[in-house]
Structure 1
Amino acid sequence: MPGAERLRDCAPLEQMVAAQLDSDRKLAAICATPYVFLESKGLLKGRPATAHPAFSDGLANQAKAVDRVVVDGNLTTSRGPGTAFEFALSLVKQLYGEEKARLVAGPMVMFSNWYV
């Protein structure tokens, strides 16, 4: 948790993240960070997102708050350590396509319905 607070309190990072979102480049956050940093700084702007269960109730848009991984345009969020593989594979899919994501997932022996 202190990591998300440190991110929140870093002014240069806030400017960088805002620029990333505004330019439609990809941004990803997991665990407490979607709420503690992105929501608290107004960077989610009501977009659907998810966060760790201890923080997800604070998200302004609750439509997908309990989903394991949420992709909304250039923004990807996830709940926490237990969703890290799905989060990572979702990013692989976005950056390199479905075939590459499946190729990466195979040796990891992911369960059959992991795919986001």
Structure 2
Amino acid sequence: MSKKLLMLLPSGAEEMEFVICVDVLRRCGVSVTIAGLGGKQITCSRDVVITADTTLNEASKGEFDAIALPGGLGGSKAMAESTQLGEVLKSFETNGKIIAAICAAPTVLLAHSIALGKSLTSYPSFKDNLSDKYRYIDDKRVVIDGNLITSRGPGTAFDFALKLAEILVGLDKVKQVSSGMLYSLN
């Protein structure tokens, strides 16, 4: 049975982080459900419009093994302000499910008091916002602490997606997929 991931898509999301994560995970055989925050037609940070599979309201009724939050200033602000997403994240945390956030999205975790005290990373400009409540790591592209996976930005999106896939489906599948993409695993 394939692993299931809920991928958030808020208005203002960083397209590269979102698309790379969804694409890599689907190539690895993960069943990805794209949940739009506030609707299904979402305009991202660079004016790319993406159609979500469903809304967060509908998707929150399903069962998932992991949740992933793309970065982007506008998208992270929208996710931080969503009480419904906060409830979903608290449920994932309580049940020990995987929570993944890249770029500005770790600020969403802070806004909803998720994974407090754990090690994480983010886009460098958010370090000061996060270092009071988390053990901030700024010399790694991807940081894993238990069920929390974080990464730094668009340039680390492949590393982020492949590490998330490795946790969900295993290293053998990730090696096969990364080889096919001509991506060298570090």
Give the TM-score, by structure 2 length: 0.57
- Identity among equivalent positions (%) equals 37
The yes-or-no answer on 1:46 pairing with 2:117 is yes
Paired with 2:144 and 2:122, the residues of 1 have a C-alpha distance of 12
Matches within 5 A, 1:34-73: 34-35=106-107, 37-60=108-131, 61-73=134-146
Provide the aligned C-alpha RMSD in A: 1.4
Tell me how many residue pairs correspond in the alignment: 112
Structure 2 counterpart of 1:8, one-letter code: A
Paired with 1:33 and 1:5, the residues of 2 have a C-alpha distance of 9
Q: Which of the pair is proportionally richer in helix?
A: 1
Deviation at 1:112, TM superposition (A): 4.8
Paired residue for 2:100? 28
Specify the structure having the higher radius of gyration (Cα): 2
Paired residue for 2:36? none
Question: Contact 2:101–2:150 (CA<8 Å) still a contact in 1?
Answer: yes
Deviation at 1:108, TM superposition (A): 1.9
Cα offsets for 1:1-47 (capped at 9, x unmatched): 11100000000110100110111011111110102x11233212110
* Structure 1: tracts of 5 or more residues without a match: none
The yes-or-no answer on 1:89 pairing with 2:152 is no
Paired with 2:84 and 2:109, the residues of 1 have a C-alpha distance of 14
* Structure 2: tracts of 5 or more residues without a match: 1-72
Cα offsets for 1:28-80 (capped at 9, x unmatched): 11110102x11233212110011111112322334423421111111111111
Paired residue for 1:104? 177
